[in-house]
Amino acid sequence: MAIQILTENLVSNVEKVIIGKTSEVELALVGLLCQGHLLIEDVPGTGKTMLAKAIARTIGCSFSRIQFTPDMLPSDVTGVSLYNQKKAEFEFRPGPIMAQIVLADEINRATPKTQSALLEAMEERQVTVEGVTYQLDPPFLVIATQNPIEYEGTYPLPEAQLDRFIMRITLGYASPPEEIAMLESQQFIHPIDELEQLVSVEDLLEAQEEVKSVYVDKQIKQYIVEVVAATRDHPDVYLGASPRGSLALYRTAQAWAAINARDHVLPDDIKRLAGPTLAHRLIVSPGARLKEVSQTKLIEEILRQVPVPGATLGVSRSGRGR
């Protein structure tokens, strides 16, 4: 199945539940095509949980939800080995992380120790319990949510955790017409209950491999590196984006080009995705925080400062103009 057709099917199906958020749904699917994890930061009630459920149902993946709380233990996430007296041996009881799509709801309510239980799963797509390693079924995707306003009873996500999310997106409030449409769609039954599977896991895995073949010119690669390097040298940034941020921008640009029916990446793709892929990786300096300088504004400023590659990027690998 062509990536553009696959994406259109996914978007149209998910939008039966998440109304009027085409761009945000497309970004979520970009993360999925890149085999990356998503962090959705928004106020309660904007559809974060429904987005995760809708994606899982559209693909036909197994889905689990972890409601993070301060008293949660790492074993509550990964699972635990218990002794079976009848069999006289230990048995592994898998935790909710053992699913293809995992919703980590209100992830910043868990202690850093519990949050760290996700690190191995997100990076290596496996969990290790008492010395035994268990592989996670593809396409393993963590969609984490957090409330950016409520701070009581929450813990900031550690830098290592944030760096493992390929993108951070926000859904925002619906417009009045979209909110009316939402009310009407849920008058008798929630649309999520009638959502059908349109894409197989095999189709998705094939698309994930196909995305890697999208051509990225050397000048585009240089542009990516320069943008990321600028985050490390900015006076208002205490800690800039890591090389993992460069790779995230590279991969998401490939996916964005593919869903727009292109076999090559453009500079505009980098500009479109720099904010979602890099902003959450920056730590703003204390002085900049006092001036209320946001991570997103810093990325916008950097994009204005870093020179865009020349017009030769309209040429494909074969030398033909696009």
* Mean pLDDT across 136-144: 90
Q: How far is CA 275 from CA 206, 228, 244, in A?
A: 27, 11, 15
The tokens for 62 are 């197994």
pLDDT of 316 reads 44
Does 126 reside within a domain?
A: no
Does 259 reside within a domain?
A: yes
pLDDT of 151 reads 59
**With 80 as the cut, is the pLDDT of residue 77 above it?**
yes
Does 15 reside within a domain?
A: no
* Mean pLDDT across 217-243: 91
pLDDT class for 249, splitting at 50, 70, 90?
Answer: very high
% of the chain at pLDDT higher than 70: 94
CA atoms within 13 A on the CB side of 277: 29
* Mean pLDDT across 30-48: 85
Could you tell me which residues come within 8 angstroms of residue 58 by beta carbon, excluding any fewer than 6 positions away? 9, 10, 13, 14, 195, 196, 197, 198, 199
pLDDT class for 218, splitting at 50, 70, 90?
Answer: very high
Report how far residue 179's alpha carbon sits from residue 307's, in angstroms, rounded to the nearest whole number. 41
pLDDT class for 318, splitting at 50, 70, 90?
Answer: very low
The count of structural domains within the chain is 1
Does 243 reside within a domain?
A: yes
pLDDT class for 268, splitting at 50, 70, 90?
Answer: very high
* Mean pLDDT across 58-67: 88
**With 90 as the cut, is the pLDDT of residue 267 above it?**
yes
pLDDT class for 321, splitting at 50, 70, 90?
Answer: very low
Judged by average pLDDT, the poorest of 122-126, 194-198, 311-315 is: 311-315
pTM of the model: 0.85
Q: Are 150 and 46 in contact (CB under 8 A)?
A: no
Q: Are 179 and 47 in contact (CB under 8 A)?
A: no
Does 167 reside within a domain?
A: no
CATH code, 279: 1.10.8.80
Please state whether beta strands 101-105 and 141-146 pair in parallel, antiparallel, or not at all (unpaired). parallel
* Mean pLDDT across 56-62: 87
Among candidate residues 66, 35, 43, 320, the one with its CA nearest the CA of residue 173: 43
Q: Which helix (H) or strand (E) holds 169?
A: strand 165-169
Instruction: Identify the residue whose tokens are 């993070």.
Output: 68
What does the mean pLDDT of the chain come to? Answer: 85
Residue 294, domain extent: 212-311
pLDDT of 257 reads 94
pLDDT of 193 reads 83
Does 203 reside within a domain?
A: no
* Mean pLDDT across 276-283: 91
**With 70 as the cut, is the pLDDT of residue 108 above it?**
yes
Could you tell me which residues come within 8 angstroms of residue 110 by beta carbon, excluding any fewer than 6 positions away? 68, 69, 70, 72, 155
* Mean pLDDT across 38-67: 86
Does 298 reside within a domain?
A: yes
Query: Which bin fits 171, alpha (ψ -120 to 50), beta or left (φ > 0)?
Result: alpha
The tokens for 234 are 């900015």
pLDDT of 319 reads 43
Does 238 reside within a domain?
A: yes
